[in-house]
Chains A and B, each alone.
Chain A
Amino acid sequence: MLKEEVIIDFRGPISFETMEELLNKLKCAPAFNELRKPVRKRLYGTVVESIDNIYKYAAFNQVDSQGNSRTPLLVVKKQDDIFTVSVGNLVMSDLVDGLKSKLDKVNELDSEELKKLYEEVINKESEEADTGAGLGLITMALRTEVDIEYSFEPVDAGYSFFTMKIDINT
């Protein structure tokens, strides 16, 4: 049996204040503090970017067409020497294709190609870069050097539940 340790298991609405609480919780976790500083920062950065990604794509109020609420989640786990950051949130179905193609793109590029893409995106006008050009996804892929696992679970005609999972090797 592999040893698994849950560091954060949060389900609920994610606001900027919640993010502060979650980051504090992470900073206080012994498993986090045991890490070498660079790995610690990489994990910290992955959590920040993952939550930022929720902000960018989350459907307003996290309520589907029937008014059923779907709770966003953030889970940070450690299994052996690998940390896993998972996030999930409801997204509007018309965003799915765009988000999917961004994720596929960063997963398919190698490190040099990712750097090129990073440069292209970061040099775009601010507004464009802010609203989902995917700088956060590119940064995570560059830093962790692993594929970002994701899924879209259709909830109804208007919405899907998006989950994304990233491993950080210590």
Chain B
Amino acid sequence: MEKLIIEATVNSPRIVLNPEEKKFEFSGESRPENVRNFYLPVLEWLEKFSTHQSGLKERERMPALDCLFNFEYFNSTSAKYILDIFKSLNTLNSLGVELDIKWLYEEDDEDMLEVGEEMSRMSKLKFEYVISDN
């Protein structure tokens, strides 16, 4: 499947969904004017990707994926869609794709750590919490 790359703007994150490199990446700030319109193509891409994977035989599926979440800030409406992304990732995980999810937060940023822990709990996915150095 074609990779999806969305470049960052001052109010929206950079997103890279690259199956070839087995790498998904989200970074930057998320408070776009229309949050739904911004995240819809991402969620649709993930849904297609899952459908594609489920059509393959188990041994032909992607064995593992690196998922990096390096948000500087996201607003509450974006949080809703980020959780939807994790729910899509959970679907992939249930197809046997092993996920290495890293949730980056700045040192002392308890809010970002805490929201990561909530996302992990709600999506039933395991996160590794990593202190970022930006």
Q: Give the interface of A toward B (CB within 8 A).
A: 16, 20, 36-38, 41-42, 44-45, 48-49, 52, 115, 118-119, 122-123, 126, 129-130, 135-136, 138-139, 143
B108 / chain A contacts, CB cutoff of 8 Å: 36-38
* Cβ contacts A to B, 7 pairs, < 8 Å: A42-B111, A45-B73, A115-B118, A130-B80, A135-B80, A136-B75, A139-B79
| B41: min CB distance to chain A, Å | 14
| A139: min CB distance to chain B, Å | 4
Q: How far is the CA of A122 from the CA of B33 in the complex (A)?
A: 19
Asked if B84 lies at the interface with its beta carbon under 8 angstroms from chain A, I say yes
Whether the pair B118, A119 counts as a contact (CB closer than 8 A) is yes
Asked if B36 lies at the interface with its beta carbon under 8 angstroms from chain A, I say yes
**Closest residue on chain B to residue A121 by CB atoms:** B80
Chain A CB within 10 A, most for which of B33, B76, B84, B108: B76
Q: Is the interface on chain B under 10, 10 to 19, 20 to 34, or 35 or more residues?
A: 20 to 34
Asked if B133 lies at the interface with its beta carbon under 8 angstroms from chain A, I say no
Q: How many A-B residue pairs have CB under 8 A?
A: 61
B31 / chain A contacts, CB cutoff of 8 Å: 48, 52
Q: Give the interface of B toward A (CB within 8 A).
A: 10-11, 31, 33, 35-36, 73, 75-77, 79-81, 83-84, 106, 108-112, 118, 122
- Known contacts A16-B33, A118-B118, A123-B122; decide if A45 and B75 are in contact (CB<8 Å): yes
Q: How far is the CA of A115 from the CA of B112 in the complex (A)?
A: 14
Q: How far is the CA of A126 from the CA of B64 in the complex (A)?
A: 29
Nearest 10 pairs between A and B by C-beta? A139-B76, A135-B76, A136-B76, A16-B33, A38-B109, A38-B108, A129-B80, A48-B75, A122-B80, A48-B31
- Known contacts A126-B36, A139-B79; decide if A20 and B10 are in contact (CB<8 Å): yes
**Closest residue on chain A to residue B107 by CB atoms:** A37
| B70: min CB distance to chain A, Å | 14
**Closest residue on chain A to residue B121 by CB atoms:** A119
**Closest residue on chain A to residue B109 by CB atoms:** A38
**Closest residue on chain B to residue A15 by CB atoms:** B33
Whether the pair A122, B122 counts as a contact (CB closer than 8 A) is yes
Q: How far is the CA of A139 from the CA of B73 in the complex (A)?
A: 13
Whether the pair A52, B73 counts as a contact (CB closer than 8 A) is no
| B10: min CB distance to chain A, Å | 7
Whether the pair A37, B109 counts as a contact (CB closer than 8 A) is yes
B10 / chain A contacts, CB cutoff of 8 Å: 20
Q: How far is the CA of A21 from the CA of B11 in the complex (A)?
A: 12
B81 / chain A contacts, CB cutoff of 8 Å: 126
Q: How far is the CA of A70 from the CA of B21 in the complex (A)?
A: 54
Whether the pair B76, A49 counts as a contact (CB closer than 8 A) is yes
| B73: min CB distance to chain A, Å | 6
| A170: min CB distance to chain B, Å | 13
| B16: min CB distance to chain A, Å | 23
